[in-house]
Amino acid sequence: MGGLVPFEWAAKKVLGPTLDEVGEDFRRLYITGREKLIRIAQRKIPDIEDGNVANLRVAADVLANGAMAADNEVCAEYFGGLLAASRTKDGKDDSLTPLVDVVKSLSSEQLRIHYWAYHTLNKALLALRPRPKVAEAPRRIFFQYLGPPDSASGHLGDLSVLRQRGLIESARTGLPVIRSKSDGREWAVPYVEVEATSFGMMLYAAAFNNLMWWQAIGTIRTEHHEDFPGIPLPKGYGFDLPSLLESVHEDGPFDLIRH
């Protein structure tokens, strides 16, 4: 069919339902997603009566983009955290705009990997005794990848995107096999190893409405970072491969039979 065609005809052919139905679906999705993001932001604000207001530029971008992704829990947590973190006394601080742009550019799986990396790093640092000084704290973390045994290596592209966005310094995956010395059982442990960056820590802190203390990850300033609701967290993690494997296998000694 050559030439220009009426928009209504083209929309029906492309979208299937009538344009009115599609518009109504998007409206419902937006309203539902917007309400969810606001509820999440409220949960992350210590004192909702503090008199602060969200930055209009950040709020508009978060709601316009995040509302359509709010059915994914990890996306909703990041967008909701940024909305909460944008609140100031006069609402004029739009410094979170670059972080919103980054979150908009990432897939839900890339955000999940970022959350796993920095949240397990925070937990591992909090468990250290004595706790190291901020400048001396480890920035490399190994964490178990949740999924089929060969799934971690399938996300090298996601890791490349995170590295390109400046959210991690380096990354690699592995699939060691361990054998229990007690019963001889064997299983593979898919893992991801990443090195944190300052920008990655900023995004992690902002997702918890704790941007002021982004440099203090793994200290008293971030020990209140609770797990995101509804998002499974890797059971095993550590600062090196042996400590990761020990945290995964809690039933006594084991042999590493394939690295």
Digit-coded pLDDT (tens) for 95-146 = 999 999 999 999 999 999 999 999 999 999 999 999 888 889 999 999 999 8
How many C-alpha atoms does 110 have within 13 Å on its Cβ side?
Answer: 21
- The one-letter amino acid code at 228 reads F
Rounded-to-integer distance, Cα 62 and Cα 79, Å: 6
Which structural domain, as residue segments, surrounds residue 51? Answer: 1-105
pTM of the model: 0.89
**The pairing of beta strand 177-180 with beta strand 168-174:** unpaired
Domain-terminating residue out of 75, 105, 135: 105
Q: pLDDT of 37-46, one tens digit each?
A: 999 999 999 9
Residue 180 has what pLDDT? 87
User: Are 163 and 223 part of one and the same domain?
Assistant: yes
Both tokens of residue 259?
């690295």
Average pLDDT, the chain: 89
Domain-terminating residue out of 50, 84, 105: 105
Both tokens of residue 61?
């971008």
65 exposure class (CB count in 10 Å sphere: 0-12, 13-18, 19+): middle
Give how many domains the chain has, as a whole number.
2
Domain-terminating residue out of 58, 76, 105: 105
